[in-house]
Structure 1
Amino acid sequence: MKKLLLLLTLMGSFVASSQETGTIKGLITDSNGLPLSGATVSIKILMKGTTTNFDGLYTLENIEAGTYDVSVSYIGFAMANYSVLVTGGSTTTLNASLDESSSILDEIVLTANKQPQKITDVPATVNVISARDIEEFPSFNIGELAARQKGVDFVRSGVLGTGINIRGFNSAFNSKNLQVTDDRLSTLIATGLPMGSFSTVTKDDIARVEILLGPNGTLYGPNAHNGLVSTITKNPRQSEGTTFAIGAGNQNVVTARLRHAQVIDDKFSYKFHFERSQGTEFDYVDSVYVGTNSYTELDLDRDFEAEKYGANIFFKPTAGSELSAYYGHSTNSNIGITNAGRNQIKDWTIDELQLKFVSKNFFANTYYTWSNTEDTYAINQRTQNYVSFIQNGFSEEEARERSFTEQWFPTGPDTGIALQRGALFKDDSRRFNAEGQYNNRWNEFYLTLGAQYQLDMADSKGTYLLDQGGIDIGQTGVYTQLEYKLEDSGWGFLLGGRIDNHDLYGNNFIPKLAVTKKINDGTFRLTYGKGIAVPSILNLKGNLFGGLVLGNGEGFTLANGTVIPRLQVETINSYEIGYKGKLSDKLFVDTNAYYNQSDNFISPLVNVAAGSPVELVGNTPIGELVPGSNGAFVLSYLNFGSVDTYGVDVGLNYYFNDNFRAVFNYSYFGRSLDKNDLNNDGNLDGQVLESELPINTPNNKFSLGFHYAKSKFYGAMYGRFVQKYDFFSGINVAAETQDLDGDGVNEIVENARVGRTWNYGQLGGFTVDANAGYNFSESLSLGLSITNLFNAEIREFVASPVISPLVSFELKYKTNFFKRKASNVN
């Protein structure tokens, strides 16, 4: 009897308990009814949440009876909030349809902390180029959209060439901003430069681009120094169908693209993409000086072409995890600008192979990158080589053939010697990367823990590196990040740290701190972050043009006894205060002020032999290391002492209505150079000058843009002003007339030869860009894009032409034949 009573009591308790709790379930779709797999559904007050499965379905169980605020979010879509009544012992259905983010306030971003967060919660300044921005921009080069972002220095060097810089000290070889694509480094192996047009992904497969301002080295490692650019591609489960696009424009531009994505079943999906583009660069020739005479660039080929393709396959072992494999390839021929002259890039290929696993708490990623070119060459050096042979009586055929590797130096009236002045660049480099990460949440406490490994295997076949037998450099990083969020009070705290071990530079510690405070519809933040820039393999082991450019991995000793130390790791300590949020129902603001302290700043190329010839490279006589070199003229890289920089970024978005909005961005950048610190003496003459640490960044810039989209029409117009500024990078000069050392003589003269190049004057000015399009149906659209609409005479980069208007048309056809139907949840 006692056992029966006990059993009845337990059963009654169980029934009572089940009646006191309920369940919420439902379906999450996009505005077209396509189920969203992986959307987050959460009840913050209960610290309870889940993600949707393959069919967009979710279930939240064991919820105490009551009324709750339920939030639904997905990257690239506006967050939705609902008030839901849960009744004990029953199931409440909550279906939600999410719209693509139309307001910046609603954006969900991924890059800042490697997990989805509402943009107002992120303790950093983040610019987002959304899928809608990309869809409504009818140009094959989406890099142009970076010109519309706050805090970003955008430059255009031609039809194909676009680049960005963040917070100062740009150059023609700028590797201070890390670029990643789907958790893969998008940088060249030996130089560390962004891949840019070498990328293996195509425009139609890009879901979004997130640009973070300031150091982000704790989670992403060395060289996320001044900023981070993260490109995220589309998952086929949210982008099924086929897209075919063709485009054309002036400068003989023609492009064609194809993308197809399909979900096979609840386990497998796939996608593939292809692109072919070609055109002709602006009619511009960079002068090459031999002695006092100038010559046009030899065999200049202004035609460019690019081909890229790739494919992904996705497998879901469970409803909440995904395994994906990717292969991508690109082949490129174009003109590239360097700080030692322009390069004729010929059939440079990039290949990438990646395997990645993602689940709620675990992330694993490994990929292999390889780079190859056989025929790329430096135009400036090859032209000098060619002239040396022609001037000394060699035939045209022999001069052209030998110009790739040699330069002729006369030793008498009818005698001479050919020295190695190689202009040819070969590359057969490899890179291996691996990363593992664990993340979890316990109430208000969030943990991220991970490790990364990278092995760079550079091989120039002896053409531009001191790399007989190849150069292998490895680095390992271990990181953790802790977050504590007090939802009731609005306070948030973040503490992160990374220990990065480099084969050449040992251990470096990279910390990160942040405090945030939510107030009404906005968030204040105070952050500190450290970044490091490890010298690239080219910085350390470069050997260009027969020793005229040498890497500084071992240090130099000059004939007068002066010792120039080897390159050290550059560090930056950044302090930032910012606010982002709504000032009214229609006005959103994101603003920051920052102060940076840089130590061991890695310089652009400078002549280290200005005071005396180089005698030793490390402990090796320069004549043994580079046969034929007397060390009288050697360009290399140095560390400066201490440089302080500071600035302000302001971004305003005003929404007149759902169809029309305006954007205003303003940035100021300044610096303070200690002229009493001889470590800042770039030319080693015992005097520190402002020009020896070139800022290469405008002090002031702003842009004003208008976006309109209604029914089947969309359009945008952007005006961009960049204050005139000086730019120095290696042999390249773009600056106003000035007396650098105060001796009464102008070393820099505008519209005249300066050193080994022609100085056309300062960069910058005002331009207007516009784009518009019309959707004839859900499948067919036509777009038009115009860069420099009013033909302003503006030069944006060194060794580059005045940018004329660029006009491009794009016709796009999309099908959703494989689109899945929403499941019935009842």
Structure 2
Amino acid sequence: MRTTLLLSMLMLVTVGFSQTTVNGKVVDQNDQPIPGANVVIVNKTIGTVTDFDGFFTLETSEVPPFQLRITSLGYSDGSANVAENNETLTIVLSEAQTFLDEVVISASRTPERIFESPVSVERFGIKDIKNASSASFYGGLENLKGVDINTSSLTFQSLNTRGFAAVDNSRFVQLVDGMDNSSPALNFALGNLVGMNELDVQSVEILPGASSALYGANAFNGILFMRSKSPFDFQGISVYGKTGFTSQEAAGDNSYYDIGIRVAHAFNDKFAVKANFSILEGTDWFAVNEEDLSIPGADRSNPAYNGLNVFGDEVAIPIDFDAATGFPSGTLGSAVVSRTGYAEQDLTDYGAQSVKFDGALHYRPFGDDFEIIYNGRIGRGSTIFHGASRYYIDDFILQQHKLEFKNNNFFLRGYITSENAGNSYDMRFTGININNRWKSNTQWFGDYVATFAGAKLGVGTGVLLDDEAAHAAARQAADTGRLVPGTPQFQNAFNAVISDGDLATGSRFIDNTKLSHIDANYNFSHLTKNFADIQVGGSFREYVLNSQGTIFTDLDGSIPYKEFGLYTQIQKQFLDERLKFTGSIRYDKNEFFDGFLSPRASLAYTAGSKRNHNFRASFQTGFRNPTTQDLFIGLDLGNVILVGSAPDNLEKRTFSVTNNNTGNTGVFVPRDTYENSFSKSSVNAFRASNFADTSLLEAGNPDPITPEQISAFELGYRGQIGKFTIDLSGYYNTFQDFIATERVIVTFSKDETNLQASATEIRNGDSQEFQAYTNSTANVNSYGATLGVNTRILGNFDLGVNYTFADFDFDEASDPDFRPGFNTPKHKVKASFGNEELFKNFGFNVNYRWSDAFFWQASFADGDVPAYTVLDAQINYSIPKIKSVFKIGGSNLLANEYFTAVGTGLVGSIYYLSWTINP
């Protein structure tokens, strides 16, 4: 009896501690491996993840039989029964029939299906990257509904949603693994110039519209999230290579290549590492538009000629030739005269480059429940930046370093961002100061006046020339000996100017600005799930501006300032989990302004017997802090001086301006812009009266800037109707204290109360134009809608069509100087058609985009952007034996060159061949 009992107990112990091992492979319907798929025992927390080749090994003390549940983004859930130990399984997952099943994190800071998201959200995943017909995955984002991309150059694309966009778009936030990828000094992201290697992209999510309730200041027009692959889930070596050429009428055909590699390895279940490297080189789009900005439609015979992509001719003064030469009034007349400028292609080599490296260490000391991550990123690039001027960003470096602690319920991360402008320079000042190094403005205009007077009076020839011929003779004489591009003399002057950081004599801009950021979030849902899902979080940020006076008013030292925020969110489901309420509120404080509360509330209802219809309504508020430039810029662009309005900025810098015609000098501080100015519109009206009606002059004196606010209302529907998936949304936004710039005129005497004296100064040119950063008093509203329809036709062909409408209105009479800069087409239509498996291992995709004409308004130049049509396409072929995908594609195959911002180069075509190993 004792022996029997002992044997029974031993058998129980053996069974209790036996190990069950299950091996398997997860593939799709085409027998392609699915990496990163979750394999979990049903009703247990025990599981594993497939490796890069789709294989998994699950070891458990669970005794068969039991069931496995297999899930992966973009695929329908699968299951498998385990009947015995050491069983080997092959599980096939079918591609999800609708994008609505895909999981997003950004909308609520917690995983949820797009179908259930409380607000609009767009997703671009691994499958979309593979099928992208654009030359880069980042360019492929333009095919998403409601998304605009303004192309400044080959390697710099600026993303935006819902209007009020510029190339330097500070209204839109871009996060890379939780880190703000914006330039700390410029407050906007330089596209993917120093962003993420496409081999490492797990997913991209875009939240259109205000997102301040969860993400704080500046998540105003929208926010983009790029999430990278974990080295635990995606291991091995991946490589891609792209080569081809760009084609543009102005630039011709130029070679292009893009190479990248990703290496990831998990040494065990606790420690994993990864590293990514990529390099892209090509030739930028040439900008050769020489349209006259001073008199649109005029030719170069205009003495005040100011070409769009010509620099140096911004230096212009009104000349009273009679007063200058001592002749009686009416003898020679007067005119505005500009110096002769240099074409943009003479001031840059249009070399485009993007070099990116990042590495990460992942450590899980207690298993999957807790992870410590160090991530370091560094990017270097050369590109054309299109802002207040045209800038050649040469050897620009941005680096980020992050330390993060996280588990399924919380994260705590801190990171620093620093940048170095390298050898970057302003093309406008390059042209201006090459001219000045050859001949001063005083001497040049003096030569011009003397020759013009002589030509009009026939001195030395006896022939009296008309105005046009006299101006031509005067310019020719004043330009005698001018430095000619391509000569050693010009090159020497060019090199000296672009290496000089003093904008009075050079054009280089210096930027060593830094940003430090900490944010945290805790999700209490594991504790409060019987009541509701509750989250709390917060962030702290500090800027340290350092441009040595080339951008900001920091000649006497760097400028630090801080901001912080706190938020909470609650989600609760009712009515058999059909009705979902989401509410959140955030408090933010910038040290220069009062604190601001931004609440959000939404309701989503799932209808239908199959729960395949979801209706949502949301109200949310947002705010936008003034940017670093809005607060502390102090930049003399020659024709206009930009001055920020932070309280500490109003006396931080002195600007000295000399009138080359009268010899008088004005000395200004930023405060004069806000306290001693005339509105530009009233000065223009005074000039139009031929300087006769002084009563037209009105004080400008804009108020110093404060945060901008938005109230956003949105209705939406997502659903499955037969074979069609539909995503429809509409929004209406109202703005308060809309951040804007205002042009004003300050006279040398700085006394706007003395109209007669000021009128004389304006008439003589003893005045200076300033750009103030302020808030509009106008009532501004924007509204729009998007509709996306996706289906499968003819078996397994994917077809998608989407339409976007966007418009705005404002009370122009209440603020005639307000420049809204909506910069978005009213109508956009996009379509895609493709098949991942047209026949074995062969697929294709075609993307079509049409954009309506719209008016572009920005500090560099205003003008119409014509409607344009773009067609991209690619074919791809997979060879599973060598784990490779080959792709041939092209962007803008119709070769209809177009532009999205006035003053940029026309976007031509890109043709490429790519080879990706272990995609």
Taking structure 2 as the reference length, what is the TM-score of the superposition? 0.72
Read off the aligned partner of 2:627 and give its amino acid letter: S
Aligned to 1:530: 621
Aligned to 2:576: 488
For 2:371 and 2:38, locate their aligned partners in 1 and report how far apart those are by CA, in whole Å.
10
Deviation, 1:733, is 1.9
Q: Which residue of 331, 335, 342 maps to 1:295?
A: 342
Q: Is this contact kept in 2: 1:495–1:512, CA < 8 A?
A: yes
Q: Which residue of 215, 222, 230 maps to 2:225?
A: 230
SS at match of 1:188: coil
Structure 1 pair 401–708 and aligned structure 2 pair: CA distance change class (3 A):
closer
SS at match of 1:386: helix
Structure 1 pair 42–512 and aligned structure 2 pair: CA distance change class (3 A):
farther
Structure 1 pair 316–491 and aligned structure 2 pair: CA distance change class (3 A):
same
Deviation, 1:399, is 4.5
For 1:27 and 1:497, locate their aligned partners in 2 and report how far apart those are by CA, in whole Å.
47
**What fraction of aligned residue pairs are identical, expressed as a percent?**
22
Aligned to 2:152: 157
Query: Is the counterpart of residue 460 in structure 1 residue 547 in structure 2?
Result: yes
Read off the aligned partner of 1:664 and give its amino acid letter: V
Aligned to 1:635: 771
Q: Is this contact kept in 2: 1:218–1:479, CA < 8 A?
A: yes
Deviation, 1:34, is 6.6
Considering only aligned residues, what root-mean-square deviation do their CA atoms show, in Å?
3.5
For 1:609 and 1:814, locate their aligned partners in 2 and report how far apart those are by CA, in whole Å.
61
Structure 1 pair 134–35 and aligned structure 2 pair: CA distance change class (3 A):
closer
Read off the aligned partner of 1:453 and give its amino acid letter: F
For 1:95 and 1:172, locate their aligned partners in 2 and report how far apart those are by CA, in whole Å.
50
Query: Is the counterpart of residue 360 in structure 1 residue 408 in structure 2?
Result: yes
Aligned to 2:559: 471
Aligned to 1:609: 745
Q: Which residue of 857, 860, 863 maps to 1:728?
A: 857
For 1:235-250, list aligned pairs within 5 A.
235-250=230-245
SS at match of 1:262: strand
For 1:712-791, list aligned pairs within 5 A.
712-735=841-864, 762-778=865-881, 779-791=883-895
Deviations 1:18-60 (A, max 9, x none): xxxxxx99889742667747677887xxxx9777579675989
Query: Is the counterpart of residue 645 in structure 1 residue 782 in structure 2?
Result: yes
Q: Which residue of 701, 704, 721 maps to 1:566?
A: 704
For 2:878 and 2:89, locate their aligned partners in 1 and report how far apart those are by CA, in whole Å.
33
For 1:609 and 1:266, locate their aligned partners in 2 and report how far apart those are by CA, in whole Å.
66
Q: Greater strand percent: which structure?
A: 1
Q: Is this contact kept in 2: 1:169–1:697, CA < 8 A?
A: yes
Most deviating of 132-141 and 468-477: 132-141
Aligned to 1:415: none
Read off the aligned partner of 1:295 and give its amino acid letter: Y
Aligned to 1:699: 826
Deviation, 1:799, is 1.4
* Number of equivalenced pairs: 719
Aligned to 2:642: 549
Aligned to 1:4: none
Deviation, 1:247, is 1.3
For 2:509 and 2:160, locate their aligned partners in 1 and report how far apart those are by CA, in whole Å.
26
Deviation, 1:499, is 0.7
For 2:23 and 2:593, locate their aligned partners in 1 and report how far apart those are by CA, in whole Å.
52
Q: Is this contact kept in 2: 1:664–1:705, CA < 8 A?
A: yes
Q: Is this contact kept in 2: 1:763–1:797, CA < 8 A?
A: no
For 2:623 and 2:41, locate their aligned partners in 1 and report how far apart those are by CA, in whole Å.
38
For 2:732 and 2:406, locate their aligned partners in 1 and report how far apart those are by CA, in whole Å.
36
For 1:486 and 1:84, locate their aligned partners in 2 and report how far apart those are by CA, in whole Å.
34
SS at match of 2:775: coil
SS at match of 1:476: strand
For 1:510-521, list aligned pairs within 5 A.
510-519=598-607, 520-521=611-612
Deviation, 1:226, is 1.1
SS at match of 2:817: coil
Structure 1 pair 528–28 and aligned structure 2 pair: CA distance change class (3 A):
farther
Read off the aligned partner of 1:549 and give its amino acid letter: L
Q: Is this contact kept in 2: 1:383–1:403, CA < 8 A?
A: no
Structure 1 pair 569–419 and aligned structure 2 pair: CA distance change class (3 A):
closer
Deviation, 1:152, is 0.9
Q: Is this contact kept in 2: 1:37–1:237, CA < 8 A?
A: no
Aligned to 1:507: 595
Q: Is this contact kept in 2: 1:324–1:356, CA < 8 A?
A: yes
Read off the aligned partner of 2:743 and give its amino acid letter: N
Read off the aligned partner of 2:389 and give its amino acid letter: G
Deviation, 1:404, is 4.7
Aligned to 1:12: none
For 1:511 and 1:99, locate their aligned partners in 2 and report how far apart those are by CA, in whole Å.
40
The structure that has the greater radius of gyration is 2
Q: Is this contact kept in 2: 1:558–1:612, CA < 8 A?
A: no
For 1:93 and 1:513, locate their aligned partners in 2 and report how far apart those are by CA, in whole Å.
49
Query: Is the counterpart of residue 587 in structure 1 residue 724 in structure 2?
Result: yes
Deviation, 1:699, is 0.8
Read off the aligned partner of 2:397 and give its amino acid letter: T
SS at match of 2:553: coil
Deviation, 1:294, is 4.4
Structure 1 pair 709–402 and aligned structure 2 pair: CA distance change class (3 A):
closer
Deviations 1:174-210 (A, max 9, x none): 1111110101111110121113233242111111111
For 2:630 and 2:562, locate their aligned partners in 1 and report how far apart those are by CA, in whole Å.
16
Deviations 1:567-588 (A, max 9, x none): 110111100000112011x210
Aligned to 1:425: 509
Deviations 1:735-764 (A, max 9, x none): 2xxxxxxxxxxxxxxxxxxxxxxxxxx243
For 1:399 and 1:681, locate their aligned partners in 2 and report how far apart those are by CA, in whole Å.
43
Deviation, 1:636, is 3.0
Q: Is this contact kept in 1: 2:194–2:355, CA < 8 A?
A: no
Q: Greater helix percent: which structure?
A: 2
Q: Is this contact kept in 1: 2:102–2:114, CA < 8 A?
A: yes
Aligned to 2:278: 275
For 1:242 and 1:50, locate their aligned partners in 2 and report how far apart those are by CA, in whole Å.
28
Structure 1 pair 352–793 and aligned structure 2 pair: CA distance change class (3 A):
closer
Q: Is this contact kept in 2: 1:27–1:96, CA < 8 A?
A: no
For 2:772 and 2:505, locate their aligned partners in 1 and report how far apart those are by CA, in whole Å.
16
Structure 1 pair 163–401 and aligned structure 2 pair: CA distance change class (3 A):
closer
Deviation, 1:370, is 1.1
